[in-house]
Amino acid sequence: MKLKEVVKALGLEILVFPAPDLEVHDGYVSDLLSDVLAHAKPGELWLTHQRHLNVVAVAKLRELSGVIFVRGIRPGLDVLQKAREEGVNLFVSESDAFHTAGRLHRLLFP
């Protein structure tokens, strides 16, 4: 499914969205950066509570399709700026990790 369709279906708030046509096949939920680097697969959508600069670096290194900050968590302007530079998609979900992941799962694996 295209990322822009996922964003619309989940009602995500867009923070940085340079690549709306990326394909999303799966998701990954973790707040541990090394865990994401070890186990997330390229193209997955990452749900996290972390909101510092390294989130952008990890998403870029792992070639993820984007990052969803859950429970309405918002990163600072420096993070948005970095994501723009690196071409990393960033979103906010008002619902918590459990419910956001649940809705994403239903969408991708109906």
Partner 1 sequence: MISPAPLRHREIFPVAGLDLERAGTVSTEVQRVLRKLGVEPEVVRRAGIVCFEGEMNIVLYTPGGRIILLVYDDRVELIFSDQGPGIPDIELARQPGYSTAPNWARELGFGSGMGIPNMETNSDKLEIRSRPGEGTVIRAVILRRRNETEGSGEGPRP
Question: What's the closest the beta carbon of residue 12 comes to partner 1, in angstroms?
Answer: 21
Scanning the chain, the segments in alpha helix (DSSP H) are: 3-10, 33-39, 53-61, 77-86, 97-108
CB of 31 to partner 1, least distance (A): 5
The alpha-carbon radius of gyration of the chain (Å, integer) is 12
User: Which residue among 2, 25, 52, 106 contacts partner 1 (CB under 8 A)?
Assistant: 52
Report, in Å, the least distance between residue 38 CB and partner 1.
Answer: 4
Q: How far is CA 38 from CA 14, 35, 64, in A?
A: 27, 5, 13
Q: For partner 1, which residue of 2, 8, 25, 39 counts as binding (CB under 8 A)?
A: 39
**Interface with partner 1 in residues 67-96 (CB under 8 A):** 78, 86
93 Cβ contact list (under 8 Å, min separation 6): 10, 12, 13, 47, 68, 69, 70, 71, 72, 100
Select 7 or 16, whichever has its Cβ closest to partner 1.
16
**Member of 8, 19, 25, 31 binding partner 1 (CB under 8 A):** 31
Kindly indicate which of the ranges 1-9, 17-25, 56-64, 99-107 contains the residues binding partner 1, using the contact rule CB under 8 A.
56-64
